[in-house]
Amino acid sequence: MPTKLTMPRLSDTMTTGKIIEWKKKVGDKVEPGDVLAEIESDKATMEFEAFEEGILLEILVPSGGTAPVGEVLAILGEVGTVPLESQPTSFRQESKSIETENKDLQKKTEEIKKVEGVDVPPKDVQKISPLTLKDKKETVVREPSSRILASPLALRLAAELGVDLTQVKGSGPDGRIIREDIERYAKMKEQTPHPISVPSPTPPKIQSPKQPTSSEGTILELTQMRSAIARRMAEGWQTPMFTLTMDIRMDAVEQIREQWKELGKSVVPTINDFVLCAVSRALHQYPQMNVSFRENSIVQYHDVHVAFAVALPEGLITPVIFHADKKSLSQIAEESKQLIDKAFAKKLQIEEFSGSTFTISNLGKMDIEHFTAIVNPPEAGILAIGRVREAVVVRGGEIAIEQRMYVTLSADHRAIDGAMGAEFLGIVRKFLEHPISLILD
């Protein structure tokens, strides 16, 4: 019996997945554990493994295709069966009689003929010298839906340069697009400013052959990660939130980091690691903050799993330090470094970025003084960290210069009140202003 291979649910929040690439092709023998394909979920790219042996009979969702969870992606048959491609058509499309297929074919042929009729330019227009291309305006413009004529080289170049062929005017016979047309178009594109409205640390790829453009700008297809962020943030925005900001003195943390550096240790904890560590201890000490609001109840978690946001060129991901309250500062530093490396390599496994109970987000590195974050449901709190700055403060009637850092808590007001949030922040501050307590325990 052939087995249907369906789109797996690779994370709790995954609704659709994208096949990045099939690693097996139709007719290939498959062993349990073999990687069949790479699938991009809303958070990461993961390997889709075979659980049983067989022959890959048919691929229904090709590389680059998207399918909802549970949709059949491919059919696996017993060893010895023949790929569906080489079986008669009637076997594959039982409901469709050959007669109707023939009719369809005829209709299609007629459609093509019709389009080609519109397409063929007058004979004299075909003779265009590439030397005079630049000033020729009567090159053929095709209907967007009609077949595009392009030389094989032009097709390859278009794919490499991300040129949308429907936008290119061909200068060859019958409007064939040739290399020169692609190169000219790509050059022109380069000189035109990119129509992006949302600033982004790394500009996304603007053009790929699939991306259509509209009159007001380039349409960027949503990646799995981007649509997940959009969905989660919209959900989080529905949460009745309040924010609390506190200014924390960081001189002691900075001193310890200096000493740590002098010791020549390979991994020196970052400010973020200190915050992770302080927050995890604070959550342990103040479990009222380590909660999630449910319809008729509030869950108070036993474990402290702190996630931290990592900005990637293609979006945002939040790897988790599990049981962070039970881990030493250097352990946290070590682990966070590994997770960041993995995140950039797109190698994070689903279990490494889900299941957190609290999140921190740090834009200090990018010189942000203070900001507010949106809670990441179902969590009830998120801490936004600003940069460590030199500040003038008045202490006991004296003016002093100190290293200081703003932290801003956003909390779900259904589960947490302002005073609770303030108390929690006070504990975080205590740990950060006396970091020896983070090292000694």
Partner 1 sequence: MAELTVREALNQAMAEEMERDPNVFLMGEEVGFYNGAYKVSQGLLDRFGPMRVIDTPITELGFTGVGVGAAMVGLRPIIEMMTFNFSILALDQIINNAAKMRYMSGGQFDMPLTIRGVNGAAHQLAAQHSQSLEVLFTHFPGLKVIAPSIPKDFKGLLKSAIRDDNTVIFMESEVLYSYKGEVPDGEFTIPIGVGDIKREGTDCTVIAWGKAIHTALAAAKELEKEGISIEIVDPRTLRPLDENLIFESVKKTNRAVIVEEALPFSSVGSEISYRIQKNVFDYLDAPIEKVNGKDVPMPYNKHLEHLALPQVADVIQSVKRSLYLI
Cβ-based nearer residue to partner 1, 170 or 269: 170
Q: How far is residue 184's CA from residue 190's CA, in Å, rounded to a whole number?
A: 10
Q: How far is residue 294's CA from residue 291's CA, in Å, rounded to a whole number?
A: 10
Supply the minimum distance, in Å, between the C-beta of residue 131 and partner 1: 7
Exposure string for 152-180, b = 16+ CB within 10 A, e = fewer:
eebbebbeebebbbeebbbbbeebbbbbe
For the chain, first and last CA: distance in Å?
A: 59
Tokens encoding 337: 């470094």
Supply the minimum distance, in Å, between the C-beta of residue 196 and partner 1: 31
Angle subtended at Cα 343 by Cα 342 and Cα 348, rounded to the nearest 5 degrees: 70
Establish whether 413 is a catalytic residue: yes
Cβ-based nearer residue to partner 1, 130 or 212: 130
Supply the minimum distance, in Å, between the C-beta of residue 125 and partner 1: 13
Cβ-based nearer residue to partner 1, 35 or 186: 186
Cβ-based nearer residue to partner 1, 158 or 320: 158
Supply the minimum distance, in Å, between the C-beta of residue 147 and partner 1: 17
310 burial via Cβ count (<10 Å: 0-12, 13-18, 19+): buried
Q: Cis ω on the peptide bond leading into residue 378 (within 30° of 0)?
A: yes
Tokens encoding 239: 């949460």
Cβ-based nearer residue to partner 1, 172 or 315: 172
Q: How far is residue 72's CA from residue 60's CA, in Å, rounded to a whole number?
A: 7
Angle subtended at Cα 413 by Cα 418 and Cα 326, rounded to the nearest 5 degrees: 80
Alpha-helical regions (H) of 372-441: 418-433, 436-440
CA dist 184 → 128, 130, 172 (Å):
16, 12, 14
Supply the minimum distance, in Å, between the C-beta of residue 128 and partner 1: 7
Task: Determine which helix (DSSP H) or strand (DSSP E) holds 256, and give its type and residue range.
Answer: helix 251-262
Residue ranges in contact with partner 1 by CB under 8 A: 127-131, 151-156, 171-173, 178-179
Supply the minimum distance, in Å, between the C-beta of residue 291 and partner 1: 59
Active-site hit among 284, 302, 305, 413: 413
Cβ-based nearer residue to partner 1, 151 or 167: 151
Task: Determine which helix (DSSP H) or strand (DSSP E) holds 232, and give its type and residue range.
Answer: helix 224-237
The set of catalytic residues is 413
